Structure 1
Amino acid sequence: MDWDKLRIFHAVADAGSLTHAGDVLHLSQSAVSRQVRALEESLNTTLFRRHARGLILTEQGELLFEATNAMIKRLDAASARIRDSEEEAFGDLKVTTTTGFGSLWLAPRLTKLYEKYPNLKIDLMLEERVLDLPMREADVAIRMKEPSQADLIRKRLMSVRMRLYASSEYLKQNGVPVEMSDMSNHRLICQNTTSAQVGAGLNLVQELLTHDIRSMLAVNNYFGVLQGVINHLGIGVLPDYIIEDFPQAVRVLPDVQSIEVPVFLAYPEEMRHSKRISVFRDFVEEEIFAHRKQLKMLASTSAMQ
């Protein structure tokens, strides 16, 4: 099928007029009409009906327009990726990370990135499933384990531990646990043991459940656990990166925590020179640095009190 004819058909369908399409394509109305007629003959079908308001697509025309529309979008995306390697950061960037990290830490900080690069279009995909970066299911990933896929550039960003938190109001009403056995007197809020989560968090929850927990709220993500904690429902198992942005969550049983969980940023080797990837990577690293600095200040303040 002749691409020039498809391009002209698409312009006519989009404009709803031979004249307007000709203006966009810098062609005469007669030249546009000839190309559309030739395309209809090659397909042995009618693509447009004439109407008082202009040209209306037939059912066959609608099918072809859907196809050309998808082609145009793919070509625009490819063009953006090519230009993006050398020019300013703009266009689509598919980022995948876990629901907890994406909703509680990353998303609230994206304002700073958009202030610098307002033409970015970020598709933030929050799920526990590990997407295939080499197959372009996503452009960049932030995961709670080192990616095992080949042909990836990977960088360790930070470490996370799962700890116990509660609101001050909850602790005033229900008392502060002093040792693990005291958890039997409190409501535990945690991720469901059957939901996808990092092994360190699961192990901590399983250990807590050995202490005769009588009341419990199980959620399938850390955002839900946090909501339970800040609404005074009980003591929650949460990643330590929440403490900076949610000071109403007070740490309890400071000797109880999971092993370290490494956090990695990864992207395909072929996107090494992508401007979109580099500005996102730099932004995350800058925020991680600021996050660590703030945590040290909080720890210092806490030690002085």
Structure 2
Amino acid sequence: MDWDKLRVFHAVAEAGSFTHAGESLNLSQSAVSRQISALEESLNVPLFHRHARGLILTEQGELLYHTARDVFAKLSMTEAMLTESREHPKGPLKITTTVAFGTTWLTPRAREFLQIYPDIQLSLLLDDTELDLGMREADIAIRMTSPRQPDLIQRHLMTIRFHVYGHVSYLKRKGVPKTIQELDNHDLIAYPADMRAPISNINWLLEAGDPPQGTRTPIMRVNNVYAIYKAVESGLGMAALPDYMVEGSRDMVRVLPELSGPKVETYFVYAEELRHSKRIAVFRDFLVRKVGETTF
């Protein structure tokens, strides 16, 4: 199979059109089209359904695309490892984690890391869904659950604890609850019940109590933990938030301090093929040090 044609096919499958693929490859649309037609002729199978709105992979095209994507991912990983100096880490490094953790804990610490390692090109991919490390969608993941894939290396990073928080403006207006039962009379902010959350049992506050209370009705539901934090910060109501998110805030008050939610174990995860990467090692060691410095 011609390597140049396979490279063009991969770009077209990723872009979904000859025009966009040509822009990424610095080729004309007609040149890209000719390469795809030649590849289809050599394989004697159609790879794309062509229509006015774009291109759709055929069944045979899907099979070739998944194989090509795996090949190019492996090549990208190998290229990064070959060009990396063991003594002086450099090159691209993509980290994925949840929006809440990445926004409030990880991003503020990126500046110090890049001051220490200025030749690393850091990319933070914040997404509450899990990216595929095996397909090199990211190099490192900081996950709130232990990964199940056997080809991933994991290290426990920290334990995240949740407590109930309210902004001083809200507490002045509505009062500070003294008992769990008093939460029934307060405005609570929660996660949508019918959506997949980044952690399990995220709405534990709605049923908190001993014995468990009936489900409380929140004043608002938001499908993002950082957005819940911003709603609490605005004085809208109270919510269960991870302690790291309110670290250092003077106006966010922990209420009912004896009440805490389930612990969330956080893991540093990367593909086994990157076990010898200096970039991975220095970022891991940096995070472990920063976790040791936290006060929550």
- Asked if TM exceeds 0.5, the reply is yes
More displaced stretch, 190-199 vs 222-231: 190-199
**Cα deviations across residues 77-128 of structure 1 (Å, max 9, x unaligned)?**
7533312262522222121111111111111111111111223222222222
Q: 1:207 to 1:76 in 2, by over 3 A?
A: closer
User: 1:178 and 1:151 mapped to 2: Cα distance?
Assistant: 49
Q: Quick check: 1:60 aligned with 2:60?
A: no
SS at match of 1:266: strand
Q: Secondary structure at the match of 2:219?
A: strand
Q: How does 1:261-276 map to 2 (within 5 A)?
A: 261-276=264-279
Contact 1:166 1:252 in 2 (8 A): yes
Please report the RMSD computed on the Cα atoms of aligned residues, expressed in angstroms.
3.2
Residue 201 (structure 1) aligned with residue 212 (structure 2): no
Match of 2:50 in 1: none
User: Is the contact between residue 163 and residue 243 of structure 2 (CA under 8 Å) also seen in structure 1?
Assistant: yes
1:101-116 equivalent positions in 2, closer than 5 A: 101-116=101-116
1:128 aligned residue: 128
Distance 1:256 1:243 in 2: 16
Deviations 1:189-213 (A, max 9, x none): 1222223221142334444894574
Higher helix share: 1
The 5 A counterparts of 1:53-202 are 59-61=29-31, 78-84=78-84, 86-197=86-197, 198-202=199-203
Question: Cα deviations across residues 181-236 of structure 1 (Å, max 9, x unaligned)?
Answer: 11122110122222322114233444489457455121111110111111111111
Q: 1:124 to 1:2 in 2, by over 3 A?
A: closer
Confirm or deny: 8 A CA contact 2:205 2:239 kept in the other structure. Answer: no
Q: Which runs of 5+ in 2 are unaligned?
A: 5-25, 36-71
Residues in 2 aligned to 1:133 and 1:188: alpha-carbon distance in whole angstroms? 36
Quick one: distance in 2 between partners of 1:169 and 1:57?
Answer: 59
Q: Give the aligned partner of residue 223 of structure 1.
A: 226
Mark the CA change 1:100 to 1:195 in structure 2 (over 3 Å): closer, same or farther.
farther
**Partner amino acid, structure 2, of 1:97:** T
CA contact (8 A) 1:85 1:273 kept: no
1:282 aligns with 2:285: yes
Unaligned runs of 5+ in 1: 4-55, 66-71, 296-305
CA shift for structure 1 position 248: 2.1
The amino acid of 2:150's aligned partner reads A
Quick check: 2:206–2:215 contact (8 Å CA) kept in 1? no
User: Are residues 135 and 76 of structure 1, via their aligned partners in 2, closer, same or farther at CA, if it must alter by over 3 Å?
Assistant: closer
1:282 is displaced (CA, Å) by: 1.2
- Counterpart Cα distance in 1 of 2:215 and 2:277: 53
**What TM-score comes out, normalization by structure 2 length?**
0.70
Is the CA contact (8 Å cut-off) linking 2:207 and 2:215 kept in structure 1? no
| Distance in structure 1 (CA, Å) of the matches to 2:208 and 2:289 | 35
Runs of 4+ in 1 over 6 A off after TM superposition: 62-65, 74-77
Secondary structure of the equivalent of 1:187? coil
- Structure 2 counterpart of 1:60, one-letter code: S
1:236 partnered with 2:239: yes
1:23 corresponding residue in structure 2: none
With normalisation by structure 1, the TM-score equals 0.68
**How many pairs does the alignment contain?**
239
Q: Deviations over 1:119-177 (max 9, x none)?
A: 32222222222233233222111111111111222111111122110011211111000
C-alpha distance in structure 1 between counterparts of 2:277 and 2:88, whole Å? 10
Larger Rg, first or second structure (1 or 2): 1
Partner of 1:114: helix, strand, or coil?
helix
Contact 2:161 2:263 in 1 (8 A): yes
